Chain A
């Protein structure tokens, strides 16, 4: 009868001494929780501020914000909508992604699996450097060099491939959706390449050797052992690039002809994006005009959020498969 009482006595005592929180833990927990709370509060405040600014403008709008194409929030009867801007943002970013990803993956594979070691490290360094170049530099290069240069290739595409709707149209210009997408592609290429290279380098040597020992050529080895391993990493790199392309302001503001029209003719004088429109319009905007631009910024934020969530979803699904396999 005595034994149980003794254990109940010693139990809590033991717990107190052995599992007491160590001394440094308290302040650290406090500081990290505090930092997290402050950060959330600041973000909520910014979001609230933006929404408060946007709402009056949206109320003053005489058209439907989500479907309207024109953008005249500064008029006495404000008419504006996100339609053409959102379209331009998504189309230019997708085109950029389509152009950049295959090239970036090729560059990454060359660095990780083909180039001799010296060359590989030099190239890797260059790619990292390019990823850090500010976007305005790409924008200026785009305006001064690429815009005039693209007139020739664009005319060629229109002449010989005009039957493809994307390349059709009457007037062909340098400041086109295609040129803007190219600048975006060149801008996001180094990021995608840098991340992909890191991922490819981590491909397990064991599986690479398994493929080689089966009589795989280097490319076959890459296809069986490296690419399947690297796919989730490449997807997240591409999504990161897509996010950067969609949010890009200066580079495309310099190139887009700033029209408010939905057109798939990527060689014609059409194109604009949410970010470019904000950069171009904020200076001369009225109160309502600013509110309208802020509202468009919130839409851009939502789009990038959706893209990121989609990317996470894709990666999580692949991870699940990998875990089931492990």
Chain B
């Protein structure tokens, strides 16, 4: 189920503005990879290039290679829609579909793929909600609007929605930044559990969080405002946080830096 991602020489643009430049890395399967770095260095942009969500912004484009195992995700014959089905995404702010019930939110992705029987759907919805550690809290009110849940529950609902389509990779862009510490812990626990089945990439501004949940950490930085963001270094999380190779990384994680 989980697959490796390999990125080589990737640049991403918004119109004529180059947001990130020359990024190459390998993201290991069944592990959590954290992206850290100052605001505006292109973490979200890079994350969105991994499932071809970058190009839905008008004028945005990508150069370089992204491979999922042996498939070139930007190959000419590749349908971006199928890439997004394979590589799921969880956003910074919980965004359940407001007009849909909890059940329908989780089922939304499956219904897009069409032709799933009701009993099959019931099973997958239950499994996904259990997978997102939300089942016990909502099992009695699956027909209620998904937007009626608390922020932390909504975010777990969004995770359930993302894993319901059985992706191979799960991308998370600051999934806890809008949540309280307890909900954050719930999601971190969930991430540790999900990494047994999925390749997980998480963007975070929270150093402790990166240290707690991730196996490998990538540090991004930009030379100056207006310059494209670059990958400074990527290594085992324990190494990045104790003995980074680059001075800039050390400055950033010790807080001697913007």
Contacts and interface: CB of A to CB of B under 8 A. Distances in A.
B95 A214 contact: no
B232 interface: no
Given A209-B91, A325-B148, A215 B99 contact: no
Contacts of B100: 228
Contacts of A324: 145, 148
Contacts of B85: 214-215
A215 B113 contact: yes
Contacts of B86: 215
Contact of B53 (A117, A212, A229): A212
A72 interface: no
Interface in B124-174: 145-148, 158, 161-162, 165
A217 B112 CA distance: 9
Contacts of A204: 95
A213 B148 CA distance: 22
Nearest to B101: A325
Contacts of A216: 81, 112
Given A212-B56, A214-B162, A326-B147, A220 B112 contact: yes
Contacts of B81: 215-217
Given A210-B91, A212-B53, A224-B108, A325 B82 contact: no
A322 interface: yes
A321 B101 CA distance: 11
Given A215-B81, A224-B108, A324-B145, A210 B99 contact: no
A206 interface: yes
A210 B95 contact: yes
Interface residues of B, number: 31
The interface residues of chain A, by DSSP majority, are classed as helix
Which of A206, A215, A216, A228: most chain B CB closer than 10 A? Answer: A215
Interface string A83-94: 000000000000
Contacts of B158: 210
A207 interface: yes
A322 B95 contact: no
Contacts of B88: 213-214
Interface residues of A, number: 23
Contacts of A213: 51, 53, 84, 88-89, 91, 162
B95 A207 contact: yes
Contact of A215 (B58, B97, B109): B109
Contacts of A214: 84-85, 88, 108-109, 112, 161-162, 165
A183 B109 CA distance: 42
Contacts of A229: 98-99
A320 to B, nearest CB: 12
A209 B85 CA distance: 13
Contact of A322 (B84, B98, B161): B98
Nearest to B86: A215
Contact of B99 (A206, A212, A217, A228): A228
Interface of B: 51, 53, 56, 58, 81-82, 84-86, 88-89, 91, 93, 95-100, 108-109, 112-113, 145-148, 158, 161-162, 165
Given A209-B56, A216-B81, A322-B98, 8 more contacts: A207-B97, A207-B98, A212-B56, A212-B84, A214-B85, A215-B84, A215-B85, A325-B99
